[in-house]
C-alpha cells in the first residue's frame, strides 16, 4: 500500500499553504508580465523561467520561420560579441587605468571582427530593415529589461497595427536570412 497524501486539518497550516500558493501565483504573473517564459510542474511550482528573445517567441507562434529566427539569433550572437557582452573574455585581456583612474574599455580583435560582420550584414538588408533589426537586436542583447518587440517596432517604424508590425518583422528577418544565405 502506497503513501496516502493527507490534507492538513490545522487551520494555521491550511492558511500557510494558501498563502504560499497565492504568492507562487503572484510570482508567476509577475514574471510572465515582464515577458518571461515560465515553466511549471504539475503542482504549478516554478521549475524554470527565462526571457526569450522576440525572435524565439515569433518563431514559436509561427510568425517567422525557423530559418528567419536562426538568422536573427546569429545576428544577436555577433552583436553580443561586438559589444563585449557575450561573456567570453579574451585570454590575454589587459585592463589599463586612464589618467582619471577609471578603467579603459578593452576592445579586442574578436569584438572588431564581430562589429565588422554586424555592419556588413546590416548594410545588405536595406535601410528600413537595418534600423528595425538593429533596434530589436540591441534591445535583446543590451537591455536589462527590454521593451516588448511591438513597442520597438512602433517606435522605429511608426506602425501601430499589430498585423502590420508582424509583417515588418517578417520582412526584416526574411531579408536577413537571405543575406546570411548568400554568404
| Residue 95 counted as domain residue | yes
Distance CA 112, CA 116 (A): 6
Indicate whether 76 and 141 sit together in one domain. yes
| C-alpha closest to that of 27 among 49, 43, 9, 8 | 49
| Residue 2 counted as domain residue | no
At residue 3, the pLDDT reads 60
**Residue 13 CB coordination number (10 Å):** 11
Hunting for cell 498585423 — which residue is that? Answer: 163
Indicate whether 41 and 60 sit together in one domain. no
Indicate whether 75 and 102 sit together in one domain. yes
At residue 180, the pLDDT reads 95
| Residue 3 counted as domain residue | no
At residue 170, the pLDDT reads 95
At residue 151, the pLDDT reads 92
| Residue 4 counted as domain residue | no
Range of the domain at 45: 11-51
| C-alpha closest to that of 80 among 141, 133, 136 | 141
Indicate whether 23 and 39 sit together in one domain. yes
Which pTM does this prediction carry?
0.70
At residue 86, the pLDDT reads 77
All residue ranges of the chain with pLDDT < 70 are: 1-8, 35, 88-105
Indicate whether 140 and 159 sit together in one domain. yes
Count up the domains in the chain and report the number: 2
| Residue 82 counted as domain residue | yes
At residue 98, the pLDDT reads 60
Indicate whether 131 and 152 sit together in one domain. yes
| Residue 34 counted as domain residue | yes
| Residue 74 counted as domain residue | yes
Q: What are phi and psi of 38, to 5 degrees?
A: -110, 120
| Residue 43 counted as domain residue | yes
At residue 95, the pLDDT reads 54
Indicate whether 41 and 121 sit together in one domain. no
Amino acid at each position: 500500500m502506497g503513501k496516502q497524501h493527507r490534507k492538513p486539518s490545522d487551520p494555521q497550516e491550511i492558511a500557510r499553504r494558501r498563502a504560499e500558493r497565492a504568492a507562487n501565483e503572484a510570482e508567476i504573473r509577475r514574471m510572465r508580465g515582464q515577458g518571461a517564459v515560465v515553466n511549471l510542474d504539475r503542482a504549478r511550482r516554478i521549475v524554470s523561467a527565462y526571457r526569450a528573445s522576440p525572435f524565439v517567441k515569433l518563431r514559436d507562434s509561427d510568425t517567422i520561420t525557423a530559418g528567419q529566427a536562426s538568422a536573427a539569433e546569429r545576428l544577436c550572437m555577433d552583436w553580443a560579441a561586438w559589444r563585449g557582452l557575450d561573456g567570453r573574455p579574451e585570454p590575454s585581456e589587459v585592463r589599463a587605468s586612464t589618467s582619471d583612474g577609471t578603467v579603459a574599455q578593452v576592445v579586442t580583435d574578436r569584438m572588431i571582427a564581430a562589429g565588422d560582420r554586424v555592419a556588413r550584414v546590416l548594410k545588405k538588408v536595406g535601410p528600413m530593415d537595418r534600423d528595425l533589426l538593429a533596434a530589436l537586436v540591441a534591445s535583446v542583447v543590451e537591455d536589462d529589461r527590454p521593451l516588448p518587440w511591438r513597442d520597438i517596432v512602433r517606435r522605429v517604424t511608426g506602425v501601430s497595427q499589430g498585423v502590420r508590425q508582424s509583417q515588418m518583422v517578417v520582412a526584416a528577418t526574411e531579408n536577413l536570412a537571405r543575406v546570411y544565405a548568400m554568404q
